[in-house]
Amino acid sequence: MKNRVSCLLILVLLTALAGQIFAEDADVGLKKKVIVGTFVDKSDHSWYRGNNPGEGMADMLITALVKSGKFKIFERAALNEILAEKNLSESDLANPGIEAAKKLEIGDVLVKATITEFGYKEETIGGSAKKVLGKSIGGGVTTYTARVAVDLRLISIGSSEVLAAEDVAATENSKSLGVATNDFTFENEKNFDEHVVGKATRKVINQIVEKIAEQTKNMPWTGILIVADEFMFIDAGAEIGITSGMEFEVKRQGKVVKHPKTGKLLKVIYEDIGVVRATEVEEGVTTVEPVSGTGFENEDFVMLKK
């Protein structure tokens, strides 16, 4: 009997613990929409024969973010199409003068970067080479040291606030380049990954993914309320993790506080309007119903209720 009671207590504790873990996981938040902007290339790389490193690294970051499963990412062509539809440019996403609601329909975080280093140096240590049957042997050991560095900026699209601005760099040492320089391009993934510069580039991309995850971990997701007659919707759905029954606070932008001399946005004061609940979730859109409050308007802001 005692054994049965003990087993029952253990089962109850495990069930409670599982429920706690599930609740904590459910509270992690919704996927942020990350826009990978242009990587401006200001590095000196006369040795490199491939396409623009800025385009290559931006594409690598998009792929890495998608593989992480933590973010909603737009492919480059899709992003350009969305921007064109809304008559916006990439630079507008970081502009505090552009209406926040219009920008938030596109994304939550903008990633911008400048490549400052993209190359390698070689160093030979050892004695003189000898010729055997017309071929040089010996002559020391050559070490190749690659270094890739970028100036990274993460920008909150809604507020235009700079969430992070820092240097991200990585080095890689090798006794061999891996592949010939002429064969090293972003398009050839196998050769890229074998090259000492390719390995350093991968390290930088992985660091950027970690920094984006760190900066957005506690960042509240913000969406837009769409009111159409008696129906209400949120401009996001299953693709970012919204599920039926989730509740969202509805807020309306009130006073905007700017610096009197620089015009820099200092603070936005929001008015609480009410709460809505998700009733039907699809890709890209969620149908909601009011839980509390009245007077909901088109383009009010919605935030996941804590």
- pLDDT at 126 (0 to 100): 55
| Residue 208 amino acid letter | I
Q: What percent of the chain has pLDDT over 90?
A: 59
149 pLDDT higher than 90: yes
Structure confidence by residue, pLDDT tens digits, 218-273: 888 889 999 998 999 999 999 999 999 999 999 998 887 878 877 776 777 889 99
Tokens found for residue 7: 């087993």
| CATH architecture observed for domain 32-120+147-216 | 3-Layer(aba) Sandwich (3.40)
Q: 222-304: which CATH number, 3.40.1710.10, 2.40.10.410, 2.120.10.30, 1.20.1260.10?
A: 2.40.10.410
Angstrom CA distances, 266 to 142, 155, 158, 262, 272, stand at 54, 15, 13, 10, 20
Of the two residues 52 and 115, the one the predictor is more confident about is 115
What pLDDT score was predicted for residue 23? 34
pLDDT for 46-74, tens place per residue? Answer: 889 888 899 999 999 999 999 999 999 98
Beta strands in the chain (DSSP E): 32-41, 71-73, 109-125, 129-132, 135-138, 141-156, 162-174, 222-228, 231-234, 247-258, 265-282, 285-293, 301-304
Q: pLDDT value at position 6?
A: 47
- Residue ranges of the domains in the chain? 32-120+147-216, 222-304
CA distance 176 to 198: 13
pLDDT band for 27, please (50, 70, 90 cuts). Answer: very low
